[in-house]
Amino acid sequence: MKPIAFNYERATSIEDAVNLLSEQNVFAKIIAGSQSLGPMLNLRIAQPELLIDITSIRELTDVASTQDHLDLGACITHADIEDGRVPDPSKGLLPHVAGTIAYRAVRNRGTIGGSLAHGDPAADWVSIFPLLDAELVVSSRRGKRTIPAADLLVSSFTTVLAQDELIETVRVPKLSDRARWGVYKINQKAGEFAHAIAGVLHDPERGHFRAVIGAIETAPIVVADAAMLFSGPHGPDLAERVDEKVVERMLDERAVRDAYTRQLALTALKRAARQACGS
């Protein structure tokens, strides 16, 4: 199939893009890497009247650094991160994850903003940016607002973004040298979406001990105080001390009923914990 007819505008600035996006009575959609929207247009799952191409907006590929965090422009691609073309605030976590997304052709074009806005619960960044306690800076004609990445997804393919909002940057806290992380993605072959993904991050200098359990067909479970997932304090045998009852309860709260999905989630968490301890 082919898309229905649509108008196309190449936005020249963020202001230009948000003005186009808020035009009255026009169903407009942003297009970035086109890796998710392209197939949806071809299948006519998405039928926008106007496509706003944001890939020529220079600020959206910029990186800004402060003492505490790095602002990554929304049009930075997975490959930019994988190849180290942008600085890494995460001690290797972001490049590691980027390299596991799809295959090279998709990573060359797919963007972090597009992946987050698309809201696929099996996608990598919707779980990993919450693990890092990142925030999204979002623009519309009404101004800017900041959304914790942990609050982005409401459920499968549903985010808190309004129709006229553009993700401008992803603000990622810088990890200290003492930070340790583990991320484990379960899929049957390289380049596939996750069947389960989990992450554990411990950064004693920043006071972070966080965990995420994702790809559970709805918003990921983000645990800001990961100590509650483990019996006893942080230590080298963390994976052996996962409190399965707590994880079971969290999966119940998300209405994850399928036994296979639940088992994969638990396994991914244990393996991520093992990596985070370097054992």
Ligand X SMILES: Cc1cc2nc3c(=O)[nH]c(=O)nc-3n(C[C@H](O)[C@H](O)[C@H](O)COP(=O)(O)OP(=O)(O)OC[C@H]3O[C@@H](n4cnc5c(N)ncnc54)[C@H](O)[C@@H]3O)c2cc1C
Site for ligand X in 178-237 (CB under 6 A): 192-193
159 binds ligand X (CB under 6 A): no
Bridge partners, residue 31, by sequence: 53
In the numeric block, which tokens belong to residue 185?
């993605």
Closest CA to 5 of 72, 35, 50, 69: 50
Applying the rule CB under 6 A, the residues between 98 and 117 that interact with ligand X are 101-102, 106, 109-111, 113-115, 117
Please report, as residue ranges, which positions from 114 to 143 form the binding site for ligand X (by CB under 6 A): 114-115, 117-118, 123-125
- Smallest gap from Cβ 236 to ligand X, in A, equals 31
Tell the smallest beta-carbon distance from residue 113 to ligand X (Å): 3
Q: Which is nearer to ligand X, 29 or 202 (CB)?
A: 29
In angstroms, the Cα distances linking 33 to 38, 168, 183 are 9, 15, 25
Is 167 near ligand X (CB under 6 A)? yes
Give the three-state DSSP class for 95. helix
- How many binding residues for ligand X (CB under 6 A)? 29
The nearest distance, CB 33 to ligand X, in angstroms, is 3
CB of 96 to ligand X, least distance (A): 13
CB-wise, 37 or 242, nearer to ligand X?
37
In terms of Cβ atoms closer than 10 Å to its own Cβ (0-12, 13-18, 19+), residue 103 is: exposed
The torsion region of residue 264 among left (phi > 0), alpha (psi -120 to 50) and beta comes to alpha
Given 11, 14, 18, 30, the residue binding ligand X (CB under 6 A): 30
Is 55 a binder of ligand X (CB under 6 A)?
A: no
Q: Is 147 a binder of ligand X (CB under 6 A)?
A: no
Residue 20 CB, shortest distance to ligand X, in Å, is 12
Identity (one letter) of the amino acid at 214?
A: G
CB 194 within 8 A of CB 183: no
- Asked if 171 touches ligand X (CB under 6 A), the answer is no
Cα separation, 276 vs 11, whole angstroms: 42
The three-state secondary structure class of 150 is helix
Beta strand 135-140 with 143-148: parallel, antiparallel or unpaired?
A: antiparallel
Residue in 166, 203, 184 with CA at minimum distance from that of residue 274:
184
Nearer to ligand X, 121 or 173 (CB): 121
166 binds ligand X (CB under 6 A): yes
Write down the least CB distance from residue 34 to ligand X, Å: 4
Alpha carbon distance 5, 265 (integer Å): 42
- Residue among 127 and 238 whose Cβ is closer to ligand X: 127
Which helix (H) or strand (E) segment is 77 a member of?
none
Q: Using CB under 6 A as the criterion, which residues of the chain lie in contact with ligand X when the complex forms?
A: 29-37, 54, 74, 101-102, 106, 109-111, 113-115, 117-118, 123-125, 166-167, 192-193
